Amino acid sequence: MTNDQTVADRVRELRRRRGLTQEELAEQAGLSANVVRKIEQGGTARMETYNALGRVLKVRTVWFMTAESPSPKPQPQGSRDAVLADIRSAVNPPAGLSGRLYADDDTPPNLPMLSHAVTAVADAYQADRYDDVARMAPALVRSAHVHVRALDGADHTEAVRLRGGALRITGAYLIQIREHDLALMALRDALRDAVDVGDEALAAAAIGQQGWALLRQARFDEVERLCIAAADQMEPRISKATPQQLSAWGYLLMRAAAAAARNNRVEEARELQGVAVSAAGPLAQEHEWLGRMRFGRVTAAMNGMQVELVTGHPDRALEVARDLPDSPGVTPNTRQRHALDVAKAHVQLGDADKATEILGRLRRTSPSWLRHQQLGRDVAEDIVNGPKRMPTQEQRELADFLGVPM
């Protein structure tokens, strides 16, 4: 295989090397023959489709990736450019010979107020109030920069830590709206602040969320290496570890497992997931370890369910989901993402009605969050384009809500 081959060339060549017809490859991958034909004619496909093909052809998912074939993106919203301009200015200000050029601000520093503001933005993010996050984040980041420049000693250290927290939350929001490169800038600076003040939890969060952004860019090998390396450095003695240490370590392991699963490294994914479950074992309940982020047995188990789903076992995924205990400690984002995974498993097993029920519930309870989820669009597309019957009114409404063509 040469570097200038297209995805179509790669699929066609390896299919032939494996002695498979298009129809045989499609059948073994659980796809329609039309999908394989479309890819070999130069069309694009979802990441999960490449994942399924990779399992049959025995290659990693990244083998299919080229710079010209990014994963699908939602249509941009009309007002987004103005919102992003303000965030971009705060996160990535211009730099001159003396360093970065920040806006002038004569307001006296007030660390308690800055801390309260960081918490308020974290609360808005976890509550899916993304419009509020978009409005508050630029001013918060600028204020944090002012505090860092104005203070010294212990107050300066605390200001750096709070700035790292503000940048981390802003980065998480940017990932949700699929502005991955800008998110990576914010998270890079959040990590630098965390390292400067020795805040291991903040560092783990910034690294893990870098991994999230990189997953969205199909950079699976990099995510696995990044998160395993950080987890190895942070690995505590479980018998003496604090809940904070276990949470930071387990979070990185979950992200590494997710990357391995998406890259068709099934055994490695399950091994990493098993260690993440071990990290959660000593925690009696979901532990809030940083900026409203939580980790525990249920959160780890939900990640395990996703590993089974991504590696092509929706039946096993639903078995894991059915065995999960109810836990009010799981964050709304984690619970909602898990619900989408359950919906995806149902639609893969042919139960479009159950998947519709789950999407409908998410639309009622978390509409702002759902609009930004590519997986939600994928599930809706699978539902309305499924075989045998005309989509119901609710299914058509979900397709309209998520911008899915019919």
Would you say 358 and 343 are in contact if contact means Cβ atoms under 8 Å apart?
yes
Considering the four listed CATH numbers 3.20.20.70, 1.10.260.40, 3.40.50.970, 1.10.530.10, the one that applies to the domain covering 7-64 is 1.10.260.40
Query: What pLDDT, on a 0 to 100 scale, did the predictor assign at position 69?
Result: 30
Q: How high is the pLDDT of residue 47?
A: 67
DSSP per residue over 229-275, as a string? HHHHHH---TTT--HHHHHHHHHHHHHHHHHHHHTT-HHHHHHHHHH
Per-residue pLDDT, 105: 67
> Does residue 19 register a pLDDT over 60?
yes
In which residue are the tokens 């508050």 written? 136
Computed over every residue of the chain, the mean pLDDT equals: 89
Q: Is pLDDT above 90 for 50?
A: no
DSSP 332-386: HHHHHHHHHHHHHHHHHTT-HHHHHHHHHHHHHH-HHHHHT-HHHHHHHHHHHT-
Give tens-digit pLDDT for 293-351.
Answer: 999 999 999 999 999 999 999 999 999 999 998 888 999 999 999 999 999 999 999 99
pLDDT at res. 328: 83
Residue among 344, 395, 329 nearest 374 (CA): 344
The answer, yes or no, to whether residue 4 has pLDDT greater than 80, is: no
Share of the chain above pLDDT 70, in %: 93
Instruction: List all residues 6 or more positions away from 107 whose beta carbon is below 8 Å from its beta carbon.
Output: 143, 146
Which amino acid makes up residue 258?
Answer: A
Coil, helix or strand at residue 132: helix
Q: What is the pLDDT of residue 379?
A: 96
Non-local (6+) Cβ contacts of 271 within 8 A are none
How confident is the model over 93-150, as pLDDT tens digits? Answer: 888 777 677 766 667 889 999 999 999 999 999 988 888 899 889 989 999 999 999 9
Return left, alpha or beta for 70; rule: phi > 0 is left, psi -120 to 50 is alpha, else beta: beta
Phi, psi of 82 (to 5 degrees): -65, -40
Q: Where are the beta strands (DSSP E) in 72-189?
A: 95-96, 99-100
pLDDT for residue 3: 52
Lowest-confidence segment of 38-47, 228-237, 369-378 by average pLDDT: 38-47
Give the pLDDT band (50/70/90) at residue 261. Answer: very high
pLDDT at 73: 41
Pairing of strands 99-100, 287-290: unpaired
User: CATH number of the domain at 220-330, please?
Assistant: 1.25.40
The ranges of the chain annotated as CATH 1.10.260.40 are 7-64
284 burial type by CB count under 10 A (0-12 exposed, 13-18 middle, 19+ buried): exposed
* Weakest-pLDDT range from 61-70, 102-111, 158-167: 61-70
